[in-house]
C-alpha cells in the first residue's frame, strides 16, 4: 500500500476497513439473539409475529440472515488476498451492512408491511455482494474464483423461492428454497474447507501437508454437486429412494475418506484446528443421515437437516470466524482460552439437536439445552472479538 492509502485507511472507522469486521460481529450477534428468541418462542414465553410465520422466520433467518452474512464477510475479505486488489470498505461496506440490517429488521417486524417491500429488501443483499466480489475477480482475471459469483446468485434464487412460497401461499416452494440453499451452502463449505483445511493443519501442527488426491476431491465434490442439482431441479423426489440412499451414502464415505487423510488426531492440541475438523465431519454425518432416511430408517428430515445446519454450518462458522478475525487483524493465531469452551459448547449444542430424537425424555428439553449452548458459544465470540473487530490492526497495516 502507498502511504496515502495508509492515511486514508487510518481515517476510516476500523469496523469499516474490511467486510469480515462488521459482518462477522453483527452476524454472530444476530445469531445469538435470533436463537434466543426462537428458544423463548418454543418455551411459550413470548409470541412473535414476524413476516410470514415464526417457523419460516427461524428457517429463513438462520440461513439468509446469519449464514449468508458470514459467507459474504468471508468472501469479500478473501478476495483481497486472492486478487491483490482493495476489497469492499468504507461507504460501500456501510451501505452493504445497512442493506443486510434492513432485511433483518423487516423480516422480524414486517408482518404488516407489503410482502414485496420485505422480500425486496431482503433479497438484494446477496446479488449486491456478488457484484462487489465479481468486479474484483474479473478485474484481476482470476477465472478460478469467479464461480463464487454464480454460487451467490444461486443462493439468492433460493431466497426468492422462499419468499415466493409466502406470497403464493405454497409452503412447498419455501421448503424447496430452504433445502436447496442448505445443499448449496454445504457445497460451499466443502469447497472452501477442501482448500484451506490441509494448509491450516500442516501450518498449525508443523507437519507435512497432505498430498491431495484430485480424483477423490473431484468425486466427493461431484457427488455433492449432483445432490444439490437433483434437489434444486426437483428431480430427487422422482428417483427411487434406494438410489438416493446410495448417492447420499457414497458421498458420505467419500467425504469421510477425504477428511481422514488430513489426520484430525494431529490437531487435538490446537482448538482452531480440531474445531474446524469436527465441523467438516458433520458434513458426512448429515449425508449419512439423509441416506438412512432415504433407506427407510428412523431418521427425521429435521434431524438430517440440522446435522448440516446446526452442525456443519454452526461449528465451521464460529471456528472460521475465530481464525479469520485474528489473522486479518494482524494477531497471532492463538485465541483466548474461553474460545475453546465456545467450540465445545457449539459442538455439544449441535450434537444435542441432531441426536435429540434418540435421547431419553422430551426432545423439547434437549432443544432448549441445545439453544442455550448455541447462545453461550456465540456470546463468547462476541465478547472476546468485539475489541478485535472494532480496533485497528495491531501491525499498523491497512485492513
Structure-block grid coordinates of residue 275: 474445531
Do residues 171 and 159 touch, judged by C-beta distance below 8 A? no
Please give the C-alpha separations between residue 29 and each of 3, 63, 135, 381, in angstroms, as whole numbers.
Answer: 35, 15, 29, 9
Instruction: Specify the 3-state DSSP secondary structure of 230.
Output: helix
Reported as a single tens digit per residue, the pLDDT across 348-364 is: 999 999 999 899 988 88
Is the pLDDT confidence value at 2 over 60?
Answer: no
Q: What residue has cell string 433479497? A: 123
Using CA atoms, how far apart are residues 129 and 99, in angstroms rounded to an integer?
10
Rg (CA), the chain: 20
Question: Whose CA is closest to 325, among 9, 20, 3, 16?
Answer: 20
Using CA atoms, how far apart are residues 325 and 235, in angstroms rounded to an integer?
40
Using CA atoms, how far apart are residues 147 and 63, in angstroms rounded to an integer?
20
Task: Answer with the residue of higher pLDDT: 3 or 283.
Answer: 283
CB atoms within 10 A of CB 118: 23
If 0-12 CB within 10 Å is exposed, 13-18 middle and 19+ buried, where does residue 98 land? Answer: exposed
The backbone torsions φ and ψ at residue 276, rounded to the nearest 5 degrees and listed phi first, read -70, -40
Structure-block grid coordinates of residue 263: 489426520
Confidence at residue 141, expressed as pLDDT on a 0 to 100 scale: 86
Is the pLDDT confidence value at 398 over 80?
Answer: no
Q: Which of 14-18, 196-200, 355-359, 392-396 has the lowest mean pLDDT?
A: 392-396
Give 298-303's long-range contacts (Cβ < 8 A, gap of 24+).
298/357, 300/357, 303/354, 303/355, 303/356, 303/357
Domain extents for the chain?
Answer: 14-196, 213-389
Confidence at residue 71, expressed as pLDDT on a 0 to 100 scale: 96
Q: Which of 272-281, 320-329, 387-396 has the lowest mean pLDDT?
A: 387-396
CB atoms within 10 A of CB 15: 16
Structure-block grid coordinates of residue 291: 441416506
> Model pTM?
0.94
Longest dimension (CA), the chain: 64
CB atoms within 10 A of CB 136: 20
Q: Report the percent of the chain where pLDDT is more than 70.
A: 97
pLDDT band with cut points at 50, 70 and 90 for residue 397 = confident
Reported as a single tens digit per residue, the pLDDT across 198-223 is: 999 999 999 999 888 999 999 999 99
Amino acid at each position: 500500500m502507498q502511504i496515502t492509502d495508509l492515511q486514508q485507511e487510518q481515517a476510516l472507522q476500523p469496523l469499516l476497513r474490511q467486510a469480515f469486521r462488521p459482518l462477522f460481529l453483527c452476524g454472530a450477534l444476530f445469531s445469538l439473539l435470533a436463537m434466543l428468541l426462537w428458544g423463548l418462542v418454543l418455551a411459550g414465553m413470548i409470541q412473535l409475529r414476524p413476516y410470514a410465520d415464526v417457523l419460516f422466520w427461524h428457517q429463513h433467518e438462520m440461513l439468509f440472515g446469519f449464514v449468508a452474512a458470514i459467507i459474504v464477510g468471508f468472501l469479500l475479505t478473501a478476495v483481497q488476498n486472492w486478487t491483490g486488489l482493495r476489497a469492499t470498505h468504507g461507504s460501500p461496506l456501510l451501505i452493504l451492512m445497512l442493506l443486510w440490517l434492513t432485511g433483518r429488521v423487516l423480516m422480524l417486524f414486517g408482518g404488516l408491511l407489503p410482502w414485496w417491500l420485505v422480500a425486496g429488501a431482503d433479497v438484494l443483499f446477496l446479488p449486491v455482494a456478488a457484484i462487489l466480489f465479481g468486479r474484483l475477480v474479473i478485474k484481476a482475471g482470476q477465472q478460478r474464483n469467479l464461480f463464487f459469483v454464480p454460487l451467490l446468485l444461486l443462493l439468492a434464487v433460493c431466497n426468492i423461492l422462499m419468499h415466493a412460497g409466502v406470497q403464493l401461499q405454497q409452503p412447498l416452494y419455501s421448503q424447496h428454497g430452504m433445502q436447496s440453499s442448505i445443499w448449496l451452502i454445504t457445497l460451499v463449505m466443502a469447497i472452501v474447507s477442501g482448500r484451506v483445511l490441509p494448509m491450516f493443519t500442516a501450518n498449525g501442527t508443523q507437519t507435512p501437508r497432505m498430498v491431495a488426491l484430485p480424483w477423490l476431491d473431484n468425486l466427493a465434490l461431484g457427488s455433492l454437486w449432483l445432490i444439490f442439482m437433483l434437489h434444486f431441479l426437483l428431480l430427487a423426489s422422482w428417483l427411487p429412494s434406494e438410489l438416493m440412499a446410495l448417492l447420499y451414502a457414497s458421498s458420505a464415505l467419500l467425504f469421510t475418506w477425504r477428511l481422514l487423510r488430513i489426520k484430525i488426531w494431529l490437531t487435538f492440541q490446537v482448538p482452531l484446528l480440531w474445531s474446524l475438523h469436527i465441523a467438516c465431519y458433520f458434513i458426512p454425518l448429515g449425508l449419512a443421515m439423509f441416506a438412512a432416511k432415504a433407506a427407510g430408517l428412523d431418521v427425521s428430515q429435521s434431524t438430517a437437516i440440522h446435522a448440516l445446519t446446526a452442525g456443519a454450518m454452526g461449528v465451521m462458522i464460529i471456528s472460521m470466524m475465530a481464525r479469520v478475525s485474528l489473522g486479518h487483524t494482524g494477531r497471532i493465531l492463538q485465541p483466548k482460552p474461553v474460545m475453546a469452551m465456545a467450540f465445545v459448547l457449539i459442538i455439544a449444542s449441535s450434537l444435542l439437536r441432531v441426536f435429540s430424537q434418540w435421547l431419553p425424555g422430551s426432545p423439547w428439553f434437549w432443544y432448549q439445552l441445545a439453544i442455550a449452548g448455541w447462545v453461550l458459544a456465540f456470546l463468547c465470540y462476541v465478547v472476546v472479538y468485539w475489541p478485535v473487530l472494532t480496533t485497528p490492526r495491531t501491525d499498523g497495516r491497512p485492513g
